[in-house]
Structure 1
């Protein structure tokens, strides 16, 4: 009976998708995807085009918001009229290569990463600029290429994949909404109902967290997955290897908890079968882990007890470009002694305390920098990290790690409850993986620890991105399945 119900829901979802596509996409242009290679090391980087693809579905985005004015991302790309130079489209983003180039490995060898740029199909040849921030946080062009999307070498037809998206939460036509696509990896054919259930469960939790809760009618959520032969994805540090559709695995950059998809082309060829602007990949694993790259994708271990937190925290990176506010956990990135001002909206080097980045949210009388029980927190955290490392080194059962996380969060909540500025926005030292020199806006936030709320600064940063991709509903009432 449950199986029949699941099949009925999927069929209804496909009918809904077809109806939305036919009524909403009539005036939408095609979707162009530029696939390229991004290579180099810690000192230099290079780009090389692979192909230009016309994706199967029309452009899902709001054509009235083609220009990105949010100033997010390490990179930005521009699509310009090749003759006049008129700016037609722009978006900020970050890359896996950009993260890798800050690791110790990048000082020893060169690597290549697949990347893609997606934009609405223009009616004329275009010039594309890929830009990167300089030491003054200004975008400078580092690669340019001319593209004729009507050229003979453009791929217009692809082999059918047989994959169809399932509607999880539909509020209206895609051009009016933020389209989030949940992609599964490590789910077998028999586990497809589990994948859909995981997608429903975690998206439901996302919309229980502010500001997503208040803005859920501005979202559509879809789910899609290609089955794998075995359950789960690879975790090399423990000798677990599985053939994965997206090349998703743990131990990225040597961090046991960092999970990323390594096959961008495979990801895009699956995702192109659904309307999307953002992607969260669910891995069918019980071990704690996840990751998020602004404008690319985020990941979360769906089978872990902390999956709710992982899904929302990592989506905060991918969706809004939020920085990690924690600093006591080991990471692979090399520190920058220059302490440049982060582009992320929730971290600052505090070069000018009188004009902190989020000054409008700081109440009169709040000291900047803002005192908090930093020393007590760090003493406890050092002991906690030793236990955590020991549990992982001994490959202890996951419930033991989960119990440690609960104990740590309980201690943090009790410690912070006694702090005088617990609920204030200020400038709390310790953020962006650094104990000193960087500051976060609140004492506690989803981006700092495993708590369940975004601070006001992060909430506003999320709302800004929602506004970039959505517009008020006008013709389709909300449908949630």
Structure 2
């Protein structure tokens, strides 16, 4: 069902006062996460009561999926009982792997959102340890009745549009499409693109089969100039969410480093997941698990980028590619199994992470035309780099990507194991050391479908937010 902006107020009132007790308010704990390549630390910034009730699933307060580089728990200090938990990843974690992190310290804003507790709680943050388990890193006492909790909220600067509404937010995945770089005169353009992207998401399995488990909202705050910043080309614009290109020096990487601006805009719609749609034609996007994802909404490859990056943000899927923009000849010898559900270090081929989906006839490791693929990628990446250096029209980059995908599709179509689930060497930004489940997947190339293992991993997160028992 599709509803227009004028219907949003009665719709929210109906959805949030459904047949069970009214949900609690949403409490947001804003923190600073800083450090360098050698270490990290946390500090409390502020505690905020958001203007809308908690949209989360009361039947699934505990996250048992074991995903994310971090995890937080909300704990009753008297009994020690965990009241709520979620895994997540961070922008700091991305930055910590850069060369800059070897030379200086930085801090990044993050938010921990959970249903308002009835009394003071202990919020505990965990990081991954050397064995990829969770180890306690930091904690803070949060009193929801404290005088310094921010409770005042401005009138909503814009009304969310109900793109798709299938029921009470408590038992649906609430996806917010948050626009940035759109002027007041471009709001109809934003809404049309948001509707088209939502349609694309629900044309891809397993979202297609689970469409009834989602609500989709769209919200954009107008900006003075059309577009977002792209510093590498000298373009700088005022932003509603802080989203821009060139994050950490990567010309295609789009993120926001302004968590406060992003959260202050998003809080006026129910959300479990947020995709920031930037008004840009240049190829780009990004995704941080359980934080947000982004897409350049005017690029020719927006449909692919939108769904791919949402896979990172929503389900914690790893990138399975290793040729762009990283060095595909890199050799990695991992010592622990990665936490991501769709890549493996194959430390024990007899106990593959997705062993229940592998047939006895499939060899592990699984052969594929790796050498031919890499040879073609060397040429593609060199041409891609030159196109950006020469500042050629975006249409030429799009044409190169179409040529690249056509070659991969044809190459894989002739491979004996093209449909098998096994362990295909090359994943997680490394040509060796890591393996992906199938030869082809939306997390590996610009294909139009997820592999079976990724689809199952997405289903598990949909259940976390929608299952009623």
TM-score normalised by L of structure 2? 0.97
Aligned with residue 276 of structure 2, among 272, 281, 291: 281
Asked whether the equivalents of residues 14 and 167 of structure 1 are also in contact (C-alpha less than 8 Å), the reply is: no
Distance in 1 between the 2:109 and 2:145 partners? 23
State the shift of 1:472 in Å.
Answer: 5.8
- Which structure 2 residues correspond to residues 249-264 of structure 1 after superposition, within 5 A? 249-264=244-259
Distance in 2 between the 1:124 and 1:39 partners? 29
State the shift of 1:85 in Å.
Answer: 1.0
Q: Is residue 2:396 matched to residue 1:400? A: yes
Asked whether the equivalents of residues 60 and 467 of structure 2 are also in contact (C-alpha less than 8 Å), the reply is: no
Q: Which residue of 1 aligns with 2:352?
A: 356
Q: Which residue of 1 aligns with 2:294?
A: 299
Root-mean-square deviation (Å): 1.7
* Mean CA deviation greater in 160-169 or 252-261: 160-169
Asked whether the equivalents of residues 311 and 458 of structure 2 are also in contact (C-alpha less than 8 Å), the reply is: yes
Q: Cα–Cα, structure 1 residues 25 and 265, in superposed 2: closer, same or farther, change >3 Å?
A: farther
Asked whether the equivalents of residues 172 and 213 of structure 2 are also in contact (C-alpha less than 8 Å), the reply is: yes
Q: Deviations over 1:289-343 (max 9, x none)?
A: 0000000000000000110001100000000000000001124999865453211
User: Secondary structure, in 3 states, of the residue corresponding to 1:11?
Assistant: helix
Asked whether the equivalents of residues 169 and 221 of structure 1 are also in contact (C-alpha less than 8 Å), the reply is: yes
- Which structure 2 residues correspond to residues 5-404 of structure 1 after superposition, within 5 A? 9-23=4-18, 26-331=21-326, 338-404=334-400
Distance in 2 between the 1:239 and 1:289 partners? 17
Distance in 2 between the 1:51 and 1:469 partners? 26
State the shift of 1:151 in Å.
Answer: 1.2
Q: Cα–Cα, structure 1 residues 368 and 183, in superposed 2: closer, same or farther, change >3 Å?
A: same
Q: Deviations over 1:137-194 (max 9, x none)?
A: 1100111111111111111112223321110011001001000001000000100111
Q: Deviations over 1:209-268 (max 9, x none)?
A: 000000000000001111111111111111111111111111111111110011100111
Q: Is residue 2:432 matched to residue 1:440? A: no
State the shift of 1:46 in Å.
Answer: 1.3
Asked whether the equivalents of residues 24 and 175 of structure 1 are also in contact (C-alpha less than 8 Å), the reply is: no
Distance in 1 between the 2:334 and 2:203 partners? 39
Distance in 2 between the 1:155 and 1:249 partners? 28
User: Secondary structure, in 3 states, of the residue corresponding to 1:363?
Assistant: coil
User: Secondary structure, in 3 states, of the residue corresponding to 2:198?
Assistant: helix
Q: Which residue of 2 aligns with 1:423?
A: 419
Asked whether the equivalents of residues 332 and 432 of structure 2 are also in contact (C-alpha less than 8 Å), the reply is: no
Asked whether the equivalents of residues 59 and 468 of structure 2 are also in contact (C-alpha less than 8 Å), the reply is: no
User: Secondary structure, in 3 states, of the residue corresponding to 1:35?
Assistant: strand
Q: Deviations over 1:85-115 (max 9, x none)?
A: 1110000000000111011110011111000
Distance in 2 between the 1:389 and 1:242 partners? 25
State the shift of 1:426 in Å.
Answer: 0.5
Unaligned regions of 5+ residues in structure 2, if any? none
Q: Deviations over 1:253-290 (max 9, x none)?
A: 11111100111001111111011010000000000000
Distance in 2 between the 1:26 and 1:204 partners? 32
Q: Deviations over 1:411-462 (max 9, x none)?
A: 0001001100000100000000000010000000000010001000000000
Asked whether the equivalents of residues 282 and 299 of structure 2 are also in contact (C-alpha less than 8 Å), the reply is: yes
Q: Which residue of 2 aligns with 1:465?
A: 461
Q: Cα–Cα, structure 1 residues 403 and 339, in superposed 2: closer, same or farther, change >3 Å?
A: farther
Asked whether the equivalents of residues 16 and 23 of structure 2 are also in contact (C-alpha less than 8 Å), the reply is: no
Q: Is residue 2:405 matched to residue 1:409? A: yes
Asked whether the equivalents of residues 322 and 428 of structure 2 are also in contact (C-alpha less than 8 Å), the reply is: yes
TM-score normalised by L of structure 1? 0.95
Distance in 2 between the 1:25 and 1:332 partners? 54
Asked whether the equivalents of residues 339 and 437 of structure 1 are also in contact (C-alpha less than 8 Å), the reply is: no
Q: Cα–Cα, structure 1 residues 12 and 159, in superposed 2: closer, same or farther, change >3 Å?
A: closer
* Mean CA deviation greater in 132-141 or 213-222: 132-141
User: Secondary structure, in 3 states, of the residue corresponding to 1:65?
Assistant: coil
Unaligned regions of 5+ residues in structure 1, if any? 1-5, 474-481
